[in-house]
């Protein structure tokens, strides 16, 4: 298992040429599924999308709420995070959809990022068709399974997917991208496009929930939380998802919260620390605004290293949360 882990750890990093970037559009390659133009074309990555590069050289979207970078380095982090979460939760989903996936159904991965989850499931369940959406086209454009389609789409807007279409909707880690008012809209849209009897599964991070956090890492956590609050993000969304799903009419709702050791001795805890390290490297300019004494790169890395040692010594834990529920067959 560890061997597989390490092997899969880094996504081959592909630098895009200007020509490839210009040609990026929503992509589809499966004749059984609606064509791109029938679904979501307005989000195709084009000149209306604004990016900014921060003082750290990291690339961000400048026209949406999402606060994390959308560059290749971040996609490597998200890709690696997938394998960590798969081990932590002992699988890729918990909703009871295994046999429907084997028989064949339409699946949405909302905010799919580099699409590691989407691609893995598309390979495992060849009779099902997978649709990944994201505001940035970091998903594969050409080399992908035939049962996979990807679309540039802002999930806070109505999609062009028809109603009652999907048997399963999966959405993971949008806490850094959706504002307080966005969540109801996004979930209403999922309700609309989910078929009666279909399942939704959401995984999120209870941002500030920790055990045994030391003062050095706590200082970084506080800055991250303040940034989320200042941007209007729903950083405590995990406290609200169950009520939101109930109000929409979902049934058979179940919740699972799993403790994640950070930088103890296990492989998963080492991956968790690497993930956190990459995250704090990505938002260095935000941290340095509040802690200017860390502006120097070497000083910043030393501080992060000290945070890692603190986690190890204190036996620190973070948490991940997932919730799944069903649209009633009679809805």
Ligand X SMILES: C[S@@+](CC[C@H](N)C(=O)[O-])C[C@H]1O[C@@H](n2cnc3c(N)ncnc32)[C@H](O)[C@@H]1O
Binding site for ligand X (CB under 6 A): 64, 66, 70, 78, 82, 111-113, 116-117, 134-136, 154-156, 172-174, 177
Tokens of 240: 């609200």
Q: Which is nearer to ligand X, 129 or 154 (CB)?
A: 154
The neighbour count for residue 46, using CB atoms within 10 Å, is 11
Identify the three-state secondary structure at position 18: helix
Give, in order, the Cα–Cα distances in Å from 274 to each of 232, 242, 253, 281: 27, 30, 32, 10
| Helices and strands, number each (H, E), in the chain | 11, 9
Tokens of 24: 């990026």
Distance of closest approach, residue 299 Cβ to ligand X, in angstroms: 27
Do residues 211 and 327 make contact, with C-beta atoms less than 8 angstroms apart?
no
CB-based contacts of 179, cutoff 8 Å, min separation 6: 65, 156, 231, 232, 233, 234
Distance of closest approach, residue 43 Cβ to ligand X, in angstroms: 8
Q: Which is nearer to ligand X, 155 or 195 (CB)?
A: 155
Quote helix, strand, coil % in the chain, to nearest 5: 40, 20, 40
Q: Which is nearer to ligand X, 139 or 165 (CB)?
A: 139
Bridge-based pairing state of the strands 106-110 and 194-204: unpaired
CB-based contacts of 152, cutoff 8 Å, min separation 6: 24, 25, 26, 40, 43, 44, 45, 133, 134, 135, 136, 137
Tokens of 289: 């605004």
Q: Which is nearer to ligand X, 117 or 130 (CB)?
A: 117
Q: Which is nearer to ligand X, 135 or 294 (CB)?
A: 135
Do residues 193 and 161 make contact, with C-beta atoms less than 8 angstroms apart?
yes
Q: Which is nearer to ligand X, 66 or 165 (CB)?
A: 66
Distance of closest approach, residue 329 Cβ to ligand X, in angstroms: 27
Q: Which is nearer to ligand X, 111 or 167 (CB)?
A: 111
Identify the three-state secondary structure at position 296: coil
Distance of closest approach, residue 113 Cβ to ligand X, in angstroms: 3
Please state, in angstroms and rounded to a whole number, the distance separating the CA atoms of residues 54 and 59.
7
Distance of closest approach, residue 112 Cβ to ligand X, in angstroms: 5
Q: Which is nearer to ligand X, 76 or 264 (CB)?
A: 76
Distance of closest approach, residue 48 Cβ to ligand X, in angstroms: 15
Distance of closest approach, residue 162 Cβ to ligand X, in angstroms: 19
Distance of closest approach, residue 245 Cβ to ligand X, in angstroms: 18
Tokens 């309700």: give the residue: 191
């Amino acid at each position: 298992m560890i061997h597989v882990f390490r092997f899969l750890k880094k996504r081959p990093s592909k630098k895009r040429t200007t020509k490839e970037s210009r040609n990026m559009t929503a992509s589809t390659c499966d004749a059984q599924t609606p064509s791109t133009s029938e679904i979501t074309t307005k989000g195709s990555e084009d000149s209306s999308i604004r990016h900014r590069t921060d003082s750290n050289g990291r690339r961000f979207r400048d026209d949406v709420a999402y606060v994390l970078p959308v560059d290749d380095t971040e996609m490597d982090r998200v890709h690696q995070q997938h394998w960590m979460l798969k081990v932590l939760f002992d699988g890729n989903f918990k909703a009871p959809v295994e046999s429907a996936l084997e028989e064949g159904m339409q699946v949405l991965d909302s905010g799919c990022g580099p699409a590691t989850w989407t691609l893995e499931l598309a390979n495992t369940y060849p009779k099902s068709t997978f649709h990944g959406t994201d505001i940035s086209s970091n998903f594969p454009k050409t080399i992908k399974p035939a049962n996979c389609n990807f679309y540039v789409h802002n999930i806070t807007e109505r999609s062009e997917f028809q109603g009652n279409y999907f048997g399963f909707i999966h959405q993971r880690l949008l806490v850094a991208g959706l504002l307080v008012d966005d969540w109801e809209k996004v979930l209403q849209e999922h309700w609309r496009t989910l078929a009666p009897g279909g399942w939704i599964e959401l995984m999120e991070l209870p941002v500030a929930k920790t055990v045994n956090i030391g003062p050095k890492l706590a200082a970084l956590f506080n800055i991250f939380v303040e940034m989320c609050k200042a941007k209007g993000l729903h950083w405590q969304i995990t406290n609200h998802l169950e009520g939101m799903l109930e109000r929409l009419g979902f049934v058979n709702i179940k919740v699972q919260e799993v403790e994640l050791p950070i930088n103890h001795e296990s492989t998963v805890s080492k991956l968790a620390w690497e993930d956190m390290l990459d995250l704090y490297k990505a938002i260095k300019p935000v941290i340095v605004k509040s802690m200017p004494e860390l502006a120097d790169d070497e000083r910043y890395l030393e501080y992060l290293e000290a945070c890692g040692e603190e986690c190890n010594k204190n036996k620190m834990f973070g948490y991940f949360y997932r919730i799944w529920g069903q649209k009633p067959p009679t809805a």
